Amino acid sequence: MNLRARIDLAVALAAVVASAGLGLLTWMDREDWRQHLPPRVLALLLIFLLLNRALHRLVRRPAREHSQALRRLALHDSLTGAVNRRGFMDRLAQAQQQQALLSLVMIDIDHFKRINDRHGHAAGDGVLREVAARLRRQMRGADLLGRLGGEEFALLLPATDLAGAQAQAELARQALRREPMAIAGTVTASFGVAQWDGSESAADWLHRADLALYQAKRRGRDQVSLSGART
């Protein structure tokens, strides 16, 4: 039963409740209503409880689940299943409030425009999905993968220092280039790694990781570059 049908049923149940309430008022106008108060009231309360439970199961819970599903969709990239930029930045800010040891890895697919030009945008979408899948297979349980836009991804690594993040980034780099993709052959990416210094804003931290990523690009791509401490 879809949500609209559930709402229609809820309206019908509400009409039943209203009818029962009017019947109670009519009955209470009678002179002998006090003699029959306990059983009548208990029966009416039982009806209300049953109807309230039915409303919860038919409308309130599905509506809440529907709302939660919409929120999940709003915070995830439909193509790759990764968290989108908005969701990633929200989680980044939350992590900064909860932990002191955090690292960030920025990832950019090398020569992605060339892939689109040679094989078409459908092939490019397939590459994005496969890159996300390979990155996800290298992640640990608490890590978070985000797609920040276009061919750019990011990994949030809780409880990970710079050396640990470098090792994770290297595993991801090798996972991407190890096996050619059926769609576009060998696909590589460049990686920029930055450890949070404990006080900088999420935007500043992201910027440092971005600078490290561009350094990897300038050095020839398909490599991991580390960000130094904030100056």
Q: Is 35 exposed, middle or buried (0-12, 13-18, 19+ CB in 10 A)?
A: exposed
Q: Torsion angle, CA of 58/61/63/65, rounded to 10 degrees?
A: -130
Active site residue 65: no
Global pTM exceeds 0.85: no
pLDDT tens digits along 12-67: 555 555 555 555 545 445 555 455 555 655 566 666 667 667 666 665 555 455 45
Count the residues in the chain.
Answer: 231
**Which member of 151, 152, 170, 200 is catalytic?**
151
CA nearest to 80, candidates 157, 175, 166, 147? 147
- The tokens 């576009």 sit on which residue? 184
Residue 147: the pLDDT is 97
pLDDT tens digits along 119-175: 999 999 999 999 999 999 999 999 999 999 999 999 999 999 999 999 999 999 999
pLDDT tens digits along 188-226: 999 999 999 999 999 999 999 999 999 999 999 999 999
Cβ atoms of 208 and 225 within 8 Å: the answer is no
Measured CA to CA, the distance from residue 164 to residue 36 in angstroms comes to: 75
Residue 163: the pLDDT is 97
pLDDT tens digits along 95-124: 999 999 999 999 999 999 999 999 999 999
Bridge-partner residues for 194, per DSSP?
Answer: 104
CB count in 10 Å sphere of residue 9 = 15
